Amino acid sequence: MRDVFTLLTERVLRDSGGEPICAHVGDVQVCAIKSHPTYQVLRKTVRLGRSKSVASLRLWESVCTLAQESDHQEREKWLMILLDLLTPYFGAWSKELAWKWRYEVSDIRSAMVGGALEAWFSMASGMPSREILDTMMTHAFTSARGLVESGSSETCAASTEYLIADVAHEEDFTLLASSIIDVGSVLDPDADERIRGERTGALLQRMGAMDQAKTLHNKLRSGCRNETDTPSITPTQVGRSWVDGKNLYYRISDLLPQYISFSDAANIVGLSESQASRMARKASLPFRVLWIGNSRVVSVKSLMHILGIQDSIVHPDDVENGASYVGGE
């Protein structure tokens, strides 16, 4: 699922249009340096973490100046670039915080961007660029930690909304505000089941994974499934099965691989592979490791369990309805 980090990058990439970008003076045509990279290339060369390079700090200083002194439209553009250059250094930490506090990583990342923006708009005039960098990072981390420690699962991202306001108008996004339902207030089990399936389908459609889901659906409808793998149905689901003449329900985990690599599992919980290896030797790793030959793998279902991801039971019709709605069919 896309979060504010992804939206920032997409917006900057879309605005730059794949053309060369000048982070020195802002205009390729008047810059004394004749060779300029695209934003994709520029972003990969910037190092603003612990191992800051001189070139990266100089580029950061130029972007700060452009974000402060350009005209209004250009200031917004360079401020977005400024934020986007920081997000690679927030990624792993936000995942680790989300895992530790059982919090939505997207909310944490919104808080981090909000904190960085708050620092930007409140900083004193003439602050050195190196100090701006440290202040924005510190505020981002403080804001995220304050969010999870407050105990609330809801955040307000109003401070970043103006940066990505047009994202909601993308051509492939047809979800209307009137379609948003508080699932916690749905009392009818059958309606809750349908909403759950449609939400799953909508998410799969946005992720581009509906083809895989439809392959599974076709397999279920053709009866090519071991009955021992079929979820048991509740009395409220009997009607659906009577209409179909068979039990077509399945679990979300049926769409996922049974195992993923050790390094991928470590990344999901916000750890590097070396950190996870050390924890495994101390028996303090939160997930179990399985060996296949000389390779380590981790069960996807076990990861879902420790991350608090419910392995919901859904019906193919509901999943496809949700996907069709989001896809504008």
pLDDT, tens digit only, all 329 positions of the chain: 578 999 999 999 988 888 998 887 788 877 777 788 899 998 888 888 777 788 888 888 888 888 887 777 788 899 999 999 999 888 888 888 888 888 888 999 999 999 999 999 998 776 888 889 999 999 999 999 898 887 654 444 444 444 444 444 444 444 444 444 444 554 566 777 888 888 888 988 888 889 989 999 998 888 887 766 678 777 766 666 666 667 888 888 888 888 888 899 888 888 888 988 888 777 677 877 776 656 788 878 878 888 888 888 889 999 999 888 877 65
CA of residue 287 relative to chain centroid, distance: 22
Q: What pLDDT shows up at residue 175? A: 44
List, in order, residues 6 or more apart from 156 with CB less than 8 Å away: none
Reduced to 3 states (helix: H, G, I; strand: E, B; else coil), residue 292 is strand
Q: What pLDDT shows up at residue 242? A: 62
Domains of the chain, residue spans: 4-169, 183-329
Alpha helix positions (H), the chain: 4-16, 39-45, 54-69, 72-86, 91-101, 105-122, 129-149, 158-161, 189-207, 210-221, 238-244, 262-268, 273-281, 300-306, 316-326
Q: What pLDDT shows up at residue 183? A: 47
CA distances from 113 to 91, 93, 108, 155, 265 (A): 12, 13, 9, 12, 26
Q: What pLDDT shows up at residue 328? A: 67
Q: What pLDDT shows up at residue 293? A: 58
Count of positions (residues) in the chain: 329
What are the residues facing 295 on neighbouring strands? 292
**Rounded Cα distance, 56 and 131, in Å:** 14
Q: What pLDDT shows up at residue 137? A: 92
Angle at 131 between CA 126 and CA 137, to 5 degrees: 130
